[in-house]
Structures are given as C-alpha cells and as structure tokens.
Amino acid sequence: MITLPNGYREVRRVDLMRNRKEAVLINLLALVIAGGVAAVGFLICPPFLEVQIGIYTVISMIVTMIGIIGYMVLHELIHGVFMKAFSGLKPRYGFTGLYAFAGSNALFDRTQYLIIAFAPVVILGIVIAVLTAAFYETAFWDLYIIQIVNLSGAAGDFYVGFLIARAGNDILVRDSGTDMTFYSRK
C-alpha cells in the first residue's frame, strides 16, 4: 500500500538526520549495548593479555573489517527483502555518511514493520552466533566483534520497534530510509 487510507494522519516522525536528541539517544543506546555485549564476550572467551602484532594479527584485523562491511550490507539487504516481500515495491538503499539504510515508499502495518525492523538482527545474530561457536578456538573475537556491531548497530531498529510496540494496532509506518513516519486514525 502506498496511499494513506482515509482518516489517517501523521502521529510521529523519527528523523535521525534532523533530530539530534533522538540521534544522541540511539547512539548512547548503541554504546551501552556494545559495552554489555563485549562484557559477555569477555566472560565467554577472555582475550589473551599478551599483545602480539604479526601478520596473523594484521590479516585478522583486515578480515574483521571486511566482515563488518559485509554485515552492514547484508543487514540493509535483509530490511529491503522484507520491505519488498510485504509491499511488492523495490526498496531504495543508501548511505548518509553516518547510517546505511533501506527505504521504501510503501506503508507497512505494525506486524510487518516489526518483522522488517528485527529480521536483520535476528537472522544475522543467529548466523554469527553459530559461526562464533563453530570457530571458538580460532576466530572467536573476529566473529564476536561482528556480533557486537550487529547488536549495537541495531539500536535504531530497537528504538523504532519500541515506539511501534507502544503505538496502537492501527499504526502504519513509512520508512523512507533516513526517516520513519508513523500514521494512525487517532
């Protein structure tokens, strides 16, 4: 659905490019999540205190950075796949310099948008967790760093999901990629 049904009006807008207060809140949430997930990682697999810089370390850092970039692309592609599945419309993808995004002109109901918002963090979280467990001895921290990025990078998705969960059942969401507009009959 692209056209807003009769009787609906805008009730909330989330625009992280223009609303500095919300942007700061989400970035603080991301830092808290990253710190908490990192602390769990230290409990699961304490890193060696001995720091050795060698070819393995350099290769490991490069592979981890490539993994993070790949993760970010996959995260947005998964948002887009679900946007397309629910609307039939081709999503838009982009990068603002601060955020990567997937957007659409479609309107999504509450359930659809909660799935769109949480699908990447759940799907990729499971895949990364399985890989981290499988390669515990050789690549735990390389993969776990990507998991930290997965969970903390989804802070905006968690925030929007929280807002939608608190909204009425009639809520419709349009996610342009850089901002989300919520509509309701109320």
pTM of the entire structure? 0.85
Give yes or no for a contact between 81 and 116, defined as CB atoms under 8 angstroms apart: no
> How far is it, in rounded angstroms, from Cα 87 to Cα 109?
10
Domain ranges (residues) in the chain: 9-184
Q: From the CB of residue 80, how many other CB atoms can be counted at a distance below 10 Å?
A: 21
Among 113, 149, 85, smallest CA distance to 14 is for 113
Tens digits of per-residue pLDDT, 105-148?
999 999 999 999 999 999 999 999 999 999 887 788 889 999 99
Q: Tokens for 85? A: 């599945």
* pLDDT tens digits along 14-45: 987 788 898 888 889 999 999 999 999 888 88
- Per-residue DSSP letter, 183: E
Report yes or no: 180 and 18 within 8 Å, Cβ to Cβ: no
Return the residue matching tokens 């490069």. 62
Residue 31 contacts residue 165 (beta carbons within 8 Å): no
